Chains A and B, each alone.
Chain A
Amino acid sequence: MVKLIAGLLGGVFCAALLYGAVVPRDAVQPDPVAKYHLAPKEVSWANDNNGGLAIFSTFDRGQLQRGYQVYKEVCSGCHSINRVAFRNLVDIGFTPAQVKALAKEADIASIDDKTGEPNTRKGIPADKIPGPYANEAAARAANNNALPPNLALITKAREEGPAYVYSLLTGYRPAPADWKTPDGLYYNPYFRSLNVAMPPPLSADGQITYTDGTKSTVQQNAKDVTAFLTWTAEPTLEARRRTGVGVVGFLIILTILGYLSYQRVWADLKRKKPEMMPAE
């Protein structure tokens, strides 16, 4: 009985599926974006062991500080990284005093004790780095209805995040003849719809003067700021790998010991103990 009902049910589902399978489909329109869209460039990072096995590699702190400078001078005008607190910048090589000074320069939204009106106060290291806009509406109003995304997690929020960010920043070029980029947007083949609302933020070599004297080109700026954003997305990356080496190493040893114990326990059985056999 069960089998009969099952057989019928199976027949019905299959009929529905096979009907769907044979019904003609609309011709697939060639996707105009796919013609020009590019996968992110191949690029390697210090914290990725420069393309190798990323187990022991760490961030290059000089690069992170340069990246922070790029963010501050170029990106912070439109993009927030308000998941990072000023005190976290100690991780990339600033001293506590420097961090305190950086925080003091910032205006943090606050409320006047006496009148209750919104005002601003000087920042302290415990504050998050404030973004440029009070809220989404203000951000859109200032950017032709486009919302500059929060960059704190951007390298984890995009496929091949660091390579994508680097490619986007260095990927601006004139559009091909048969591609229409509307006014107010800019052609970038690394962006998913090819037309991005962000004008090229790094437009010329030497746009930024690095405090550590590194030669400042567009590629260098892009690399540095991407490394910095990789850090903002996961400040605990180095701790994670360090702990991982210890844990995996310990577990490999424990597994080997476990295997030897297992062999020891089963040794007599595998050798066929005479006692297991009925007496002759």
Chain B
Amino acid sequence: MPDSRATTPPVVTPATVDDSLPVGAPEGPAAEHAVRGNGLDPTLPAVLTATAGSKRRSRGRGVVFWLALVWLAVVVLVALTASWLPLSDPDKQDLVNRLAPPLSDGHVLGTDGLGRDILARLAFGARVSLIISVSAVSIGMLVGGTIGLAVGFFRGWFESVTMWALNVVLAFPGLVLLLGLVAFVGQSLTAITLVVGFLSVPVYARVARATTLAAAQRDYVLAARALGASNRRIMFGEILPNVALPVAAFGLVALGVVIVLEGSLAFLGLSVKAPDPTWGSMIAEGRQHLSTTTHLAFIPALVMFLTVLAVNFVGDVLRSRFDVRESRL
């Protein structure tokens, strides 16, 4: 037996049952059998190749993934520290230097139609985009996810009524409803965030409900019940971890959508009030000068495009990385 332990590979395989086991472990013929099976363990190469394969895959995604991550980090960092960075005041008008091209003296990215520094406005505009997208997505995920989890778990009339109500909200044309609500509630950052957040609740609820329905039928839920788990513990301990991931994956994609949505609102003049900068309102203002100077609209559009692209890309990679589902079992 000591020999067998010496040849035991470092990776513990199913057949690795040696004599170091405590009382209660299989003994006699079974243990013998296991040790014999050790020499030609068929699962070992499979395990090794599988691990190597997944590593190679994630390394292949590396460069673009890291670029996207760096871009997002820069955007977030700039948004957080905009007040302390050596930027000019985003609202300060430099009427002498109106419509200055990029790389001109004192204005790295040039100035807009009122001579305001574009770089400074981009930095402060990032705040609006980030606050609205992150908060609205969080609201939608939390509220919608909870509703979906509850209706998917308890079913019954509660589910029918809730899903009916959510479908009614979903059936409204989103942007029109948004315009109406913003006009009604007002144009503050908080109001816009709340409206966007609550309008997205039905979508998250549907995603969460669908996943809950599937998870609730699995054997591990029955096994948890057979161990005396209460409904609450099954819901939050067993099902929630399975639901959280698809909902979060959806939320990551939605981050980009909300950034674009804020742009649309700003373009229609319904985002945060002027003169506070947002990317969307910068594009809208740049439109007036498109015939003469393109960089006014082009630079904020490019920044928004890159940010949404990076969010989607990072979201995609993170999702597949943390996706510990049956497919990998």
A binds B: no
**A residues apposed to B, CB below 8 Å:** none
